[in-house]
Each structure stands twice: as C-alpha cells, then as structure tokens.
Amino acid sequence: MSDGPVKLKSSMFSAEIAPLGAELVRLTDAEGLDLLWNGDPAFWTGHAPLLFPIVGRLPGDQLVHKGVAYPMSQHGFARRRPFVVASRTDHSARFVLEPDEETRRQYPFEFLLTVTYTLEEATLTIEAEVANPGAEPLPASFGFHPAFRWPLPYMGTRAEHHLVFEKAEVEPIHRPVGGLLSTATEPNPAVEAAMELTDAMFERDALIFLHVRSHHVRYGVPGEPGLEIAFPGMPQLGVWSKPGAPFLCIEPWSGYASPQEGPTEFTQKPGISLIPPGGSKSFAMSVRWLSDSGR
C-alpha cells in the first residue's frame, strides 16, 4: 500500500486520493485552481470522506444486532481505515477495504468495499461497490461527503453562489438533532429549484433532503465557472456547512441518520440496504466542471 496520495490527471482536472479512507483530498481545474476544501482544522478537517457502513449517527453511537451492542461512531469507520490500492493508471484508481479485527469490533458482518475513481476530461466519477461475501444479509448504508470551496476560485462572492437543482424539490426537509434525524420538518428552500446559500441556513446544522427528486445539482455563481454534482440512484442528499466556513458540502447518500424515534435493531433501521449473500450494491456520484454554473 502506498502511503502518499494517488494522483490522477485529465485534460481538465487533477485529483489526489489518499489511501486512508480512499478519500479525495485535492481536486484542481486546468489552471491549477483548488475546487475542493483543504481540510483546515480551524473549520473542519475533512475533504471528501466516504461514509460506510452508516450515514449519520445511531442512537447512543451503538449498532445493535441480535441483542448485542457494538460501538459505532458517526458516519462509520471507512473514513478512518487504510484502503489497499488495488490498481492505478494516470486516469483511474481502485481502492479496496476488507474486514479486520478493528472493523469486526464495530460491525459484525463480512463485506468487501471497492471504490473506483475515474477522470475523463472534465468529469471525475466516484463509484463504490459494497459486496456481501457472508452467509447472511448485509445491512449497510453508503454516502459521499465532498466539501467544495465556498466561494469557488472564480469571480463572485459567497453570497452570489447558488445551488441549482435539476428539479423543483417540494417535500419538506429534515435537520439533524443530536446527530439523529428530526421528526419535525421545515419548508424546502429549493421549491423553485434554485437555492440561495447563506450562513444562516446552517445555524441548525445540515439540510437533509430525504426523498430528493433531482439527480444532479449545479453549484457556483451564474455566469461564472462552476460544478455539476450528479448522483443517479442516490435517494438522499445532505447539504452542510458551518456558519462562516469557506466550504459547502454537497452529499449524496443512500441511507441517513437514525430517526429520533425508531427501531434499535440495525437491520430494521430506516434507509438501510440489505444486500443478500453473494450480492452487491453500487453507489456513484460525479463532479463535472462547467464553464457556466447557471441554469
């Protein structure tokens, strides 16, 4: 396993992925301008962690299975585990995580997690596959958590940045409360598809779109270069920052935090995927550079 980041390059992007967590830690455009958050600990040390086998938190930070409790911290363990670099080229790299003594103390299931990064011209694609080599159904969630610069390194202030959804989002949104999914809801700020970004909207933590209709969003200042984040097949979306922090997390999820009121048995957790023995499930997102982030 290589200790340093794996570097990929295309005509429009350069990317670096750390084997620790198979995490994207740098993404630059053709001019070398940074698009991804740098992990400044003054605000948040993450760059783009991968969330597995849970998204969000469990009650009491415990995974309960068949009456036995296992310690499981927010967003799971994959982001803190070293992956094996299984293959690499100038344009792609594949990372693999398998169970070990540490993961089994938290998660009593067999799994194989494979994450593949591919650069093609102005698009970075991240594909994750969770396979079940065990003899019982594998309960798992998976999420992406990329943090982009806010503002992006082009013209325009933070206040001029928008998040433009593919479709109008009509369902009320949820918030985390103590890391768990709130039972209360509030009006969706993206009912007209375009959402203004303000520090105030993150004073009560993330915005959780539990049944997102859109399959992509565009981020940036209309009329300026920006990014399209696509997430086909990912049913949830989180949008998060900290008031005053110079990053915006746009997070496609398959799964979400345990509700404030819900079952304790992990296999019955809302939003969980049950992967049959011998089966697998794939999750994907992409980031595409746009010359104009407007509609």
Residue 42 located in a structural domain: yes
Is 0.95 topped by the overall pTM?
Answer: yes
pLDDT of residue 1: 42
**Residue 249: both structure tokens together:** 């997390």
295: pLDDT strictly greater than 70? no
Q: Around Cβ 149, how many Cβ atoms within 10 Å?
A: 21
Which structural domain, as residue segments, surrounds residue 22? 6-290
Residue 295 located in a structural domain: no
Residue 137 located in a structural domain: yes
Model confidence band, residue 292 (pLDDT cutoffs 50, 70, 90): confident
Identity of residue 73: S
Residue 180 located in a structural domain: yes
Mean pLDDT of 52-63: 97
| pLDDT tens readout for residues 162-191 | 999 999 999 999 999 999 999 999 999 998
Residue 1 located in a structural domain: no
| pLDDT tens readout for residues 227-284 | 999 999 999 999 999 999 999 999 999 999 999 987 889 999 999 999 999 999 999 9
How far apart CA 223 and CA 292 sit, in angstroms, is 5
- In terms of Cβ atoms closer than 10 Å to its own Cβ (0-12, 13-18, 19+), residue 96 is middle
CATH, residue 93: 2.70.98.10
Nearest Cα residue to 52 out of 1, 125, 111, 118: 111
Mean pLDDT of 212-235: 96
- For 200-248, the three-class secondary structure string (H helix, E strand, C coil) is HHHCCCCEEECCCCCCEEEEECCCCCEEEEECCCCCEEEEECCCCCCEE
Model confidence band, residue 210 (pLDDT cutoffs 50, 70, 90): very high
Average pLDDT, the chain: 96
152: pLDDT strictly greater than 60? yes
Residue 175 located in a structural domain: yes
Model confidence band, residue 3 (pLDDT cutoffs 50, 70, 90): confident
Residue 266 pairs in a beta bridge with: none
pLDDT of residue 32: 97
Q: How many domains does the chain have?
A: 1
**Residue 63: both structure tokens together:** 């995974």
Residue 115 located in a structural domain: yes
pLDDT of residue 14: 98
